[in-house]
Structure 1
Amino acid sequence: MSAIIWIGIAFLFGTIAKLIRLPPLIGYLSAGFLLPTIGQLTTELDLSTNGIDDREALNQFADLGVTLLLFTIGLKLKVKNLLRVPIWGTGFGHMAIITIAMSGLLFLLSSTGWGPFSGLDFKAIALIGFALSFSSTVFVVKVLEEKAAMNSFYGTLAIGILIIQDIAAVIYLAASTGKIPSPWALALLIGLYPLHRLMKKFLNFIHKGELLLLFGLFIALGGAILFESFGIKGDLGALLLGIMLSKHKYATNLAKELFNFKDLFLVGFFLSIGLSGLPDSDIILTAILISLILPLKALLFFLFLTKFRVTSRTAILSSAILFNYSEFGLIVAKVGVDTQVLSPKWLTIIALALAISFLYASPLSANTQKLIEFFIDKAKRFESKHRLPEEINIDPGDVNIIIIGMGRLGTGAYDEFLHQDVDKIVGFDNDPSVVKRHLNEGRHSILANSVDPDFWHRFCVNHPSIQMVLLSMPETSNNLFAAQQLRANKFEGKVFATVKYKEDEATLKENGVDYIFNFYISAGAGFAIESLTALPKKEGSMELCAENIV
């Protein structure tokens, strides 16, 4: 019964937060602060601070959420991306400077002996500084999904930096237990190789549906328990198992299945944070004071990114969505409380500072274009003369036709144009191996991601020579996004798009597509014609049928 009440209260406060255009996470934290008060008014939910069973159950719920969060982070982790200098350089450099700067400020404040700062030792100061150096993975992912910018370059940079921070957090969590790993821990790590092969076989067999969800839960939670039994932090085990599966072709499917399930358990985590107690005036003032440091975090992100040859526009976009504190900071602080390095009131302070940071970050991330317009002239002086490959302006040359999506359909269209003596063509694709193959085969191809909003800032689509754009990407949503961007950039030529389902045709036409090629219908007609040509012509009716199909 308690779980039902937790979910109901979380839903109520999350809905209220969403109604006033705030992340639901703020509502969950607020609900947690009020749970003890509600517990005094009902016999169904006694969540006082006496450590009774209901509270223990909520903490277990919260721990499951953290474990699943780390497993899904592992699934999305691409080691190759993390090795890029703008990502690891900014991630580690920013974290080090913010930790040192915050520690210095906290040391000065502790010398005043005021309120929560009184009695802070060096270990506690360093831990608080470290906890405040993180940015929110949950917030950034939500913003990028709402803006359809998960594939954008600034989104890729932000996610990469967050993963660097998450790795640092996991290392701390693993070291914080104070336990000496079992002598058999090395055998466990060696045994991961055959386990990896077994997991891949299972994932190939169970790649969709409810079994995929159960497989993910079993690997994440079972793996955490396995690592704990060898004296290694279970969360680290969940992350490692996620990384082991990250290169699998169905890893994205597994991450999607677990995404909402993980969020449900994380609600328990945010509720449990609120149980640390209602904030008093000193705690509120301290949280506000800590929140005033946020502009320094954003400025430092911008300086690091531009130093690593990122353009000012991209640096502003990435910095704007990283302008917050993190749920991982809360996880680190909670470990500090559990190990008696921090007093429980600091968990409340950091939770409140997190909520305040979202109050700042929500309107900021919603108005990034205005932010760019305001700062861009001053920001450009920080740009490097040499740009990253992803930031170089795209110049396809003197072309009349653009094909976006050089898969089998796009390639077929390209070759048919050449067969019809139309040679001023360029093909765009976001897969480097595809582009390399086309270049080797003599097709004019350029590596570009058309679902990245930055692409449309680097490519002048309304050049007078461009007469036609063919959208041949397999996902209708990607073709729709590209069509919207074409018209938003005042492209006046003809737009053609492929579609799989008839019900999507109207949406594409409403968004500027002139001609629709229904893949299945057209392929079916072609299949029928090819079949008829193979039959002996006994009667004239067969020719008539073929004419009718055409």
Structure 2
Amino acid sequence: MPEAIWISFAFAVGLLVKAVRLPPLVGYLAAGFILSALTAYPGLNFSAEPTAVLGHIAHLGVLLMLFTVGLKLNFKSIISPEVIGGSLLHFVITCAVFAPGLYFFLDITPYVALMLAVALSFSSTVLAAKVLENKRELRAFHGRVAIGILVMQDLVALVVMSLAAGKTPSEWALIVFGLPLLRPFLFKLLDASGHDELLVLLGMLLALVLGGLGFEAIGLSSELGALLFGAVLANHPRSQELAKSLWSIKEVFLVGFFLQIGIGGLPGLDAIVFALAASLILPLKGILFFFLMIMFHLRARSSFLTSLSLTNYSEFGLIVASIALPEWLVPLAISVSLSFVISAPLNRMAHGIYERYASRLERFETNKHHPDEQPLSLGTTKVLILGMGRTGSAAYDKLIENEPSLVGLDSDPNKIIQHSEAGRNVMFADVEDSTFWSHLQMPQVHSVLLTTPNIESKLIATRMLRKIGFTGRIVAHTMYQDEADRIREAGADNAYLSMDETGIALASHIIETSTS
């Protein structure tokens, strides 16, 4: 039974790759190559040839991935000069440079050279999103810029895929323009689906049936259909819950996509040489992103972190190649895998690398800075809260009763808008940015509350506050005793355990009720 063999090899090799802190999809591709080698070896009676089932699973994975991309299409986050301008300029420059070079060195047709350049121009949404999420930086300024650029690249890839497929739409294709009219009905369906299996089934219905088969029936790309149905639901409050509910299914189906590439054939010497050459020119991709971000007035730190997140090749490039250049799928797959091997560890060390070379990189900054990155002056503020989630908001509402000179800081612009509408004084700031702290003016602040969600931001904020000479009180909360000890060692006056404080607060309510 080939399915059992695929699953076993994919899990075993994926687990080995994960153990060395690389993305598991590198292991899935390697598993496919191993299966292909075992099948081709004449001395073994072994067969794991790709079947229609595997191809179908791979296609479903692509459709679900595009649907979840559509669910994240927040047009407010991508309609900005650095996102639109940076992504499109990078795409045009990369194609203009890579295409002639590939045509000259590989002796291929201009069309093939252009399609290869297009495939190599994209960056990995999967890798960047996972790295940023693991570091809790998806909502940080550089994280939002990187995700916005990736969404723009995904849209460009979809246009290329539709053109490369060469499908002629039927007269019924015009009904696509009426999709926004379905939004109220789809919103009601999403509300009625609850939080369990019906939510997952709704996502699969929209992505695979209406978006996939429906668009194919009217002569349009099934990939386009999946993306558009996701985009229709993007503004619903539960769109991200739907995306999370489909995450595991999408990931499992995408395993089939990478396995299919590997099982399809062993890489020859030419494919390996191509992948190594692509790895050598990978730094040029990041350097171009860095200077484009600088051109749009981002600071060196944000430009560096954004560009490092995008310094890799994309699984979307493989999807484009599967339609436009199937004969180049294996060389491109190896290129993507090698770029992940290079990019993943660099992104884990991103902040340390920047701190080491900050003085050199800051020389390239322009005099004008992006509005989201302007230095702050806190004026007469007496108390500062870093991180305005549920804990920070509760602390703010309690403190404002006795201390009107109160300011909250957060790196999520959407939260800042919500807090402003609620009457809270909240400003934008990335507390992990050393440049922010070096420019911060806080002459009258006497107390700081650390309520950011992750331990690293608390540690960085504490160290930077003491480094700039703050002698006031620093108080934090955390879930674990070892983290509390680390925060105190970094310079905080105290770090309280959240669950202990919750228990004390609940007990105090009982005491107050019984004595009143």
TM tier relative to shorter chain: 0.7 to 0.9
- Conservation of the 8 A alpha-carbon contact between 1:483 and 1:495: no
Q: 1:382 to 1:505 in 2, by over 3 A?
A: closer
State how far apart, in whole Å, the 2-side matches of 1:177 and 1:386 are: 44
State how far apart, in whole Å, the 2-side matches of 1:29 and 1:427 are: 46
**How is 1:3-402 mapped onto 2 (pairs within 5 angstroms)?**
3-39=3-39, 45-47=47-49, 54-109=50-105, 117-118=106-107, 120-190=108-178, 192-222=179-209, 223-337=211-325, 344=327, 346-402=328-384
State how far apart, in whole Å, the 2-side matches of 1:195 and 1:137 are: 28
- Conservation of the 8 A alpha-carbon contact between 2:481 and 2:497: no
Q: 1:60 to 1:490 in 2, by over 3 A?
A: same
Count of residues paired in the alignment: 494
CA apart distance, 1:516: 6.0
State how far apart, in whole Å, the 2-side matches of 1:336 and 1:102 are: 17
State how far apart, in whole Å, the 2-side matches of 1:515 and 1:124 are: 60
CA apart distance, 1:194: 4.0
State how far apart, in whole Å, the 2-side matches of 1:13 and 1:24 are: 8
- The amino acid across from 1:171 in the alignment is V
CA apart distance, 1:432: 3.4
Q: Find the structure with the greater CA-based Rg.
A: 1
State how far apart, in whole Å, the 1-side matches of 2:11 and 2:197 are: 25
Q: 1:331 to 1:505 in 2, by over 3 A?
A: closer
2:446 maps to which of 447, 467, 485: 467
State how far apart, in whole Å, the 2-side matches of 1:262 and 1:406 are: 29
Which residue does 2:491 correspond to in 1?
none
SS in 2 for 1:470: strand
SS in 2 for 1:149: coil
- Conservation of the 8 A alpha-carbon contact between 1:22 and 1:359: yes
CA apart distance, 1:286: 2.1
Q: Deviations over 1:482-514 (max 9, x none)?
A: 544443435564445678xxxx47576444454
State how far apart, in whole Å, the 2-side matches of 1:91 and 1:38 are: 42
- The amino acid across from 2:505 in the alignment is S
SS in 2 for 1:22: coil
Q: 1:179 to 1:12 in 2, by over 3 A?
A: same
The reply on whether 1:413 has 2:413 as its aligned counterpart is no
Q: 1:203 to 1:522 in 2, by over 3 A?
A: same
State how far apart, in whole Å, the 2-side matches of 1:168 and 1:140 are: 18
State how far apart, in whole Å, the 2-side matches of 1:301 and 1:482 are: 26
Q: 1:337 to 1:426 in 2, by over 3 A?
A: closer
Moved more, 77-86 or 23-32: 23-32
Q: 1:254 to 1:520 in 2, by over 3 A?
A: farther
State how far apart, in whole Å, the 1-side matches of 2:189 and 2:222 are: 22
State how far apart, in whole Å, the 2-side matches of 1:202 and 1:378 are: 54
- Conservation of the 8 A alpha-carbon contact between 2:123 and 2:314: yes
The reply on whether 1:428 has 2:409 as its aligned counterpart is yes
SS in 2 for 1:208: coil
- The amino acid across from 1:243 in the alignment is A
The reply on whether 1:546 has 2:493 as its aligned counterpart is no
CA apart distance, 1:66: 0.7
CA apart distance, 1:359: 2.4
Moved more, 75-84 or 374-383: 374-383
SS in 2 for 1:184: helix
Q: 1:205 to 1:505 in 2, by over 3 A?
A: farther
The reply on whether 1:489 has 2:469 as its aligned counterpart is no
Q: Kindly report the root-mean-square deviation, in angstroms, between the aligned alpha carbons of the 2 structures.
A: 2.8
Q: Deviations over 1:295-328 (max 9, x none)?
A: 2111110110000011111111111121111111
- Conservation of the 8 A alpha-carbon contact between 2:115 and 2:325: no
State how far apart, in whole Å, the 2-side matches of 1:11 and 1:253 are: 27
CA apart distance, 1:211: 2.0
Moved more, 460-469 or 320-329: 460-469
CA apart distance, 1:248: 0.6
- The amino acid across from 2:515 in the alignment is A
- Conservation of the 8 A alpha-carbon contact between 2:437 and 2:464: no
- The amino acid across from 1:200 in the alignment is F
Q: 1:229 to 1:524 in 2, by over 3 A?
A: farther
CA apart distance, 1:88: 0.7
Q: 1:232 to 1:374 in 2, by over 3 A?
A: same
State how far apart, in whole Å, the 2-side matches of 1:141 and 1:194 are: 31
Identity of aligned residues (%): 34
CA apart distance, 1:37: 2.8
Which residue does 2:453 correspond to in 1?
478
CA apart distance, 1:265: 0.9
- The amino acid across from 1:284 in the alignment is I
